Chains A and B, each alone.
Chain A
């Protein structure tokens, strides 16, 4: 099965719907984690790190834009409308990616948790890299081509978060304890990233992406390997404690995120900004 263009894809209703569904997951995942990252701007533990982290967030939001543009091509509407005007229930990102960085807001009393940022980003970048490697073989060629391009920016992200993860896990007891708490928290919702949602079978049978099970195993293997490096074990499988975002289940944190993200755009979605 190969779809070289959107015209070819649109002839196959099942593949067309499954592709759109997959693209929303990809776009929304990147969009939300990049947004949460951008809230850290100016507040990171170290000024040099602030600059580095911001580049990662720009890259990631840039990837979301690419997916939104693919959706735009597929007739879903303007990329800016898709990112700013959809109802929170229409978002397909995993719940763990929408969650606040900590208590407070980016403007007031931000009690942000750097351990949570490190763990969430590292686990996500592992999942994202595995997903992209699979998408390189996608039957929808415009997506396969895009995956290859996006993958080229992932190496730095992985190097960056792996380094933070390893160093903090291997430092003071306080840091270790904070990191372990963050791992458990992210773990209990991370299945939300690894699941392909209700259209999973169609995505798989149309060869848009590899099998969910297989990708999940790859992720577990990768995570186990870094856990071994830092002498850590966890005895349960990742969960979806706060809901399945692929089905439109979300937390209040998403409402909060989207109202901030769209505050200005909503004033007038038609005008030129």
Chain B
């Protein structure tokens, strides 16, 4: 019986794999999987992982500057969670890469060299405390929408990591709401601060979900991901969900969306809005955004400066083994 299972041809294995996918079974790290499934997962999850880690950086600027003791503690906990999300997702990606002889070091090197991209929003400037509020409320809000789509991902380890992540995202969203509401209910200065932040971040928020279809910006991996049940919705589905959830909320607290044309078209059953500049998007995600260079440098420098620590403990292991 065991031998029979092993003697399946590649084609039969693929067939059985697709049956499992269609039956809603979960694939685990050590299971057989087609190369393009593995590749699709590595691409998606390693990008997700480094985005969490790079995402900690714009918010980190506001950790010591957060206005009160309570806010300082809360944002510290929030950014810590983001590093933790990076950790969870890196572990998932690392297990997928192991058969290819690659590990965390390789992922980080790809990030530093620009080969591995991270989310457009984390290339942006965050010059005021209002930005810390917008990031936690709306960037995290957008992230919750994309992440919860994959809670049922066909890849078990990814789905389990996302379950941990989403539980924490609820705290992030409330932390963001709390900052935003204090500002919109505050002084004129504070209101101005948060309105400026929203205006600045709006195009980046729309870009967060990616272009509507591949005509807009080169190749897209969405279809394959849907076939393999890694994700279940298109970029535009997600962006529409974001509008449903947040446009009314944004307007109800007196903030103005910097798009005169945005409205819900009852007939089409969808939001009509001004497209962000997709050429700009391409530029940003390929490492030419306003803060791309600085943020990568920050990570690279700190990684290089602490190399001696990793060397020291690695060599300590070698020493003990003899």
A: residues with CB less than 8 A from B are 35, 38-39, 41-48, 50-51, 54-55, 57-58, 61-62, 64-65, 68, 79-80, 83-84, 102, 104, 106-112, 114, 167-168, 170-172, 174-175, 178, 260-261, 263-265, 267-268, 271-273
Contacts and interface: CB of A to CB of B under 8 A. Distances in A.
Contacts of B305: 102, 110-112
A107 B62 CA distance: 10
Nearest to B128: A264
Contacts of B199: none
B76 A39 contact: no
8 contacts: A43-B299, A51-B83, A54-B77, A167-B313, A174-B311, A265-B68, A267-B189, A268-B189
A169 to B, nearest CB: 10
A41 B60 contact: yes
Interface stretch (B40-48, B84-92, B233-241, B280-288): B84-92
Interface of B: 53, 56-57, 60-61, 63-73, 76-77, 79-80, 83-84, 86-87, 90, 129, 182, 185-187, 189-190, 294, 297-299, 301-302, 305-306, 308-313, 315-316, 319
A260 B60 CA distance: 13
B309 A38 contact: no
A271 B187 contact: yes
B252 to A, nearest CB: 19
Contacts of A109: 297, 301
A22 B185 CA distance: 38
Nearest to A49: B309
Best-buried of A44, A54, A168 by chain B (most CB within 10 Å):
A54
Contacts of B72: 38, 61
A65 B315 contact: no
A179 to B, nearest CB: 9
A39 B64 contact: yes
Given A111-B301, A171-B312, A271 B186 contact: yes
Contacts of B83: 41-42, 47, 50-51, 54
A171 B310 CA distance: 10
Contacts of B308: 172, 174-175, 178
B76 A51 contact: no
B195 to A, nearest CB: 16
